[in-house]
Structure 1
Amino acid sequence: MNISIKQLRAFVAVVKTRSFTEACALVHLSQPALSVAIKNLEEGLGGPLLSRTTRTLSLTPEGEAFYPRAQRLLADLDEACDEMHSRFSLFRGKVAIASMPSFASNQLPTAIRNFRDKYPHINMTVHDVIAEDVVDMVRDGRVEVGVSFDPGDTEDLLFHSLFDDRFIAVLPQQHALLSQTIVQWEALLQDDFIILQRPSNIRLLVDRMLEKQGMTIVPQFETHQLATIGRMVATGLGVSVVPSLCLGQMTELGAVCRPLEAPVISRQVGVITRRRYPLSAAAKGLVDVLLTTY
């Protein structure tokens, strides 16, 4: 069976107008072309749908049964086309993003605000997960867009850098090291140290970079959350290091931050997408906003 949309539209137009002449104007076909469309539709279905005389035009019983179904098919098609047009025009749709907590709670809200201002009808879901899970969620297709550290060379992922994130020292109010414009690692490690637990990517990176310099962290406190670190430092329990994108959060929690060097530890933060899968229009719009915001 080979039935076309043109044939369905021709049939519905004829039934609505009860006139081949008026139906031609509705579907923009000549009368011979309209007649051929109806004939081919009837042949495809196996029998007549219309009963025609020189004065009257009516539906056969089979035509009566088929007409509402033809209307529904065309209505569903028009609705689907309208929805796709809205999605491609970013008037409607949804997008999901996974972001590591340090970015989600500090920089991401600004990007979301910019995205919302530009595309107010796109719904967004934000997954606030650890950096390792961001990569897994993008790779598995659970989200189209992720923001995390550079996952390195991978065949299945694309990475678009947003900025280079340098680690900073986190100190309590009135700490002696606040007299220094830039804090040295060697001096920082003399104090009680608070840091994320392994296997956090941040912890592993810091341990690896310090090991190259012959230094080792012996933590007095370990935790899972950067916010907990900020509050513990502000309370005076010790000192810590965090990515600079957490500067605002640490300040809000009552801690004070300083640049950190010897060694300088930094890591690229960027947008992660799947290499061989095209993004939806909404996801493309979100990536563009992220890249222009930072």
Structure 2
Amino acid sequence: MVHQQRPEPRLSPSSDTEDMTDMAKLLAPRLAYFAAVARTEHVTRAALEAQVPQSTLSRAMARLEQDLGVDLFARRGRTLSLTPAGRTFLASVERALAEIGRAADEVRADADPASGKVAFGFLHTMGAETVPGLIHEFRADHPRVRFSLVQNYGEAMLERLRAGDLDLCLTSPVPDAPDLVARRLDEQKLRLVVPADHRLASRRRIRLAEAADEAFVTLEPGYGLRRITDAVCKEAGFKPRIAFEGEEAETLRGLVAAGLGVALLPPPAVPRPGVVELTVTAPRAVREIGVAWLDGHPDTPPVTAFKKFLLSKRGNLLP
């Protein structure tokens, strides 16, 4: 009878990854010991430098060689010299230890109360005046604190919070989610922005229902201001007819100025020619601005200080 030869079993890519991870966990605690022995080429001196018993160091080196399956040292009494394999391994170990040292220095620097870093996200519409003003005021008492700033729409910033990329964000609407903590800080009245030559441009105030037949330019779905626009129009008794969708409020103002529609927008940082901004008397057209952070996430001292500062601006956040 002829038996078919079975192929040798091979590890799947996921198994390879798991094996590498297991090996790293196995070797990592002994790498600094290895570097000390390699540097001194003497177990006793290395034990003094590493502040561990000589027997502990000797066992660690023997186990390291056993786990790797290669000889890292040639032994002559208590004196050791690196084998070619040992020299190759040492070069990578020194790079790894140096990288760990740099990472430790970086995280300590970011957490420093006086000069640490705050990763802060905010809406595009708050980038011209509000956020620069807040940071300028905060740095009057914390002049060396550094900021990593991210501008984006609300949902994207909340995902960055959850991913750990941001410490805090200013967003709208104020989120209500079990994994987040959010505090309302202020609100902005939204205005109906119309072209300067529009039939409504001579008005100062308007009930939103009077614009039910107009084409609207809005932000894309998923943006907080778009959800507010849809909700306010629904309360006014109509569904807005969307002519154009964009990603940034000032772009929408440009589209309005070009006569492509009307828009519900917060006040601009600088008045824009070509448009007229009308106060909406009904329904109530506002967007709430709040600060959010990840629930249970430990704060560094600079983040704690900036969070306290933002919360102190309740009712006085916006210029």
Q: 1:155 is paired with a residue of what secondary structure?
A: coil
TM-fit CA distance, 1:253: 5.9
Mapped contact 1:148–1:269 kept (Cα < 8 A): yes
Mapped contact 1:135–1:151 kept (Cα < 8 A): no
Q: CA 1:46/1:253 → structure 2, altered by over 3 Å: closer, same or farther? A: farther
User: Which segments of 5 or more consecutive residues in structure 2 lack a partner in the other structure?
Assistant: 1-48, 56-77, 79-100
**Structural mapping, 1:106-185, within 5 Å:** 106-185=129-208
TM-fit CA distance, 1:46: 5.9
Counterpart residue number, 1:33: none
Q: CA 1:252/1:209 → structure 2, altered by over 3 Å: closer, same or farther? A: closer
Counterpart residue number, 1:271: 291
Q: CA 1:85/1:287 → structure 2, altered by over 3 Å: closer, same or farther? A: closer
Structure 2 CA distance for aligned equivalents of residues 139 and 263 of structure 1: 34
Counterpart residue number, 2:268: 247
* Partner residue of 1:221 out of 229, 240, 244: 244
Q: CA 1:257/1:46 → structure 2, altered by over 3 Å: closer, same or farther? A: same
1:142-170: CA deviation from partner (whole Å, max 9, x where unpaired): 11111102444322211121102332111
Counterpart residue number, 1:207: 230
TM-fit CA distance, 1:121: 1.1
Structure 2 CA distance for aligned equivalents of residues 97 and 86 of structure 1: 15
Structure 2 CA distance for aligned equivalents of residues 291 and 254 of structure 1: 37
Q: CA 1:155/1:86 → structure 2, altered by over 3 Å: closer, same or farther? A: closer
Mapped contact 1:231–1:253 kept (Cα < 8 A): no
Question: Is 2:308 the partner of 1:288?
Answer: yes
Q: Which residue identity is paired with 2:268? A: L
Structure 2 CA distance for aligned equivalents of residues 175 and 248 of structure 1: 22
Percent sequence identity over aligned pairs: 21
Q: CA 1:132/1:288 → structure 2, altered by over 3 Å: closer, same or farther? A: same
TM-fit CA distance, 1:84: 7.2
Q: Which residue identity is paired with 1:232? A: L
Q: CA 1:86/1:280 → structure 2, altered by over 3 Å: closer, same or farther? A: closer
Counterpart residue number, 1:260: 280
Structure 2 CA distance for aligned equivalents of residues 284 and 253 of structure 1: 41
Aligned residues: 219
Q: Which residue identity is paired with 1:87? A: D
Counterpart residue number, 2:43: none
Aligned structure 1 segments of 4 or more residues deviating by more than 6 angstroms: 83-86
Q: Which residue identity is paired with 1:184? A: R
Question: Is 2:209 the partner of 1:186?
Answer: yes
Counterpart residue number, 1:87: 112
Q: Which residue identity is paired with 1:205? A: I
Structure 2 CA distance for aligned equivalents of residues 85 and 232 of structure 1: 42
Greater helix percent: which structure?
Answer: 1
1:164-194: CA deviation from partner (whole Å, max 9, x where unpaired): 2332111223544343332211223333422
Q: 1:209 is paired with a residue of what secondary structure?
A: helix
Structure 1 CA distance for aligned equivalents of residues 177 and 225 of structure 2: 20
TM-score by length of 1: 0.64
Q: Which moved more, 1:112-121 or 1:130-139?
A: 112-121
Q: Which residue identity is paired with 1:172? A: P
Structure 2 CA distance for aligned equivalents of residues 131 and 282 of structure 1: 23
* Partner residue of 2:261 out of 238, 254, 274: 238
**Structural mapping, 1:9-88, within 5 Å:** 45=53, 87-88=112-113
Mapped contact 2:209–2:236 kept (Cα < 8 A): no
Structure 2 CA distance for aligned equivalents of residues 286 and 171 of structure 1: 38
CA RMSD of aligned residues (A): 3.1
